[in-house]
Structure 1
């Protein structure tokens, strides 16, 4: 992907449903997997807790991903939930795990963002790129004593 599309407001851009295709490669062991499914970015339930136990902040999105993950030929259902909260600067996001722990920042105002997330002794390095109004990609490189992975995820807007 050579040119990137700037996104002035990442939460407004992500809102809606996206078709997801993810490849996962274990660079140390040689295993390969694939996830296919859907991610919906929608308003969190107003009765659900926010960061401080109160209601979620205005503009927050709940990221709910579901589909099938095939690893070494074995298919399994897979789900994950993340919280995308308004970031410290307008148009940015603070991404959290479902339980509220910090995951990473996200700023697509240039159409590209690089971020990191330490996980025990491993380091997740993510690159987010936007190609147009309906397509974006993440590339996570995970390196450390426990993991040596490359995860590439392509998103295409549904509808």
Structure 2
């Protein structure tokens, strides 16, 4: 399998995310992600609608900075995780909760990341699927 590079992600992607909490409640997110080059790095911006059970649906967004080495940082500069270039496992400790991620690039340019979150504050599985948007260049 080919190693992914930051340039592979640049452009616009459709996102579909399913969230399943350990108590059985479900959520979903549908929207768009865009990686925009900023020097050797890229800004990741995700926008869309998040539905979380009884809370209803609302607009949501998140931003990360991806380095050229596929290291992902939160907006405030804190380390989030490292993306394995061939796909595979990664992790993030956010006291008191553990985030265990798995990237799957086997059907590139359609790909996904699954996060299993466990701890006293959060306990869920989030599966995000990415597909290139028409006219984009992933």
TM-score > 0.5, shorter chain as reference: yes
Partner of 1:65: 46
Instruction: From 9, 13, 17, give the equivalent of 2:12.
Output: 17
2:80 counterpart residue number: 103
Q: Does 1:34 align with 2:28?
A: yes
Inter-partner Cα distance in structure 1 for 2:132 and 2:16: 12
Residues 21-66 of structure 1, C-alpha deviations (whole Å, 9 max, x = no match):
0001111x2210000000000123xxxxxxxxxxxxx320100000
Q: Please report how far the alpha carbon of residue 86 of structure 1 lies from its aligned counterpart in structure 2 after TM superposition.
A: 1.9
Cα deviation for residue 101 of structure 1 reads: 0.5
Task: Write the distance in 1 (CA, Å) between the matches of 2:2 and 2:112.
Answer: 13
For the residue of structure 1 that corresponds to 2:8, the secondary structure is helix
Once the two structures are TM-superposed, the CA of residue 107 in structure 1 deviates from its matched residue by 2.2
> Which residue of the other structure, out of 100, 112, 116, is the alignment partner of 1:125?
100
Contact 1:96-1:103 within 8 A present in 2 as well: yes
Seen in structure 2, the aligned counterparts of structure 1 residues 15 and 7 have a Cα distance that, compared at 3 Å, is: farther
Shift of the alpha carbon at 1:9?
3.8
Greater share of strand: 2
Tell me which structure has the larger Cα radius of gyration: 1
User: What TM-score results when the alignment is normalised by the length of structure 1?
Assistant: 0.79
Checking the alignment, whether the CA contact within 8 Å between 2:84 and 2:90 is kept in structure 1 is no
Report the Cα distance in structure 2 between the residues aligned to 1:68 and 1:136, rounded to whole angstroms. Answer: 20
Per the normalisation by structure 2, the TM-score is 0.91
Moved over 6 A (4+): none
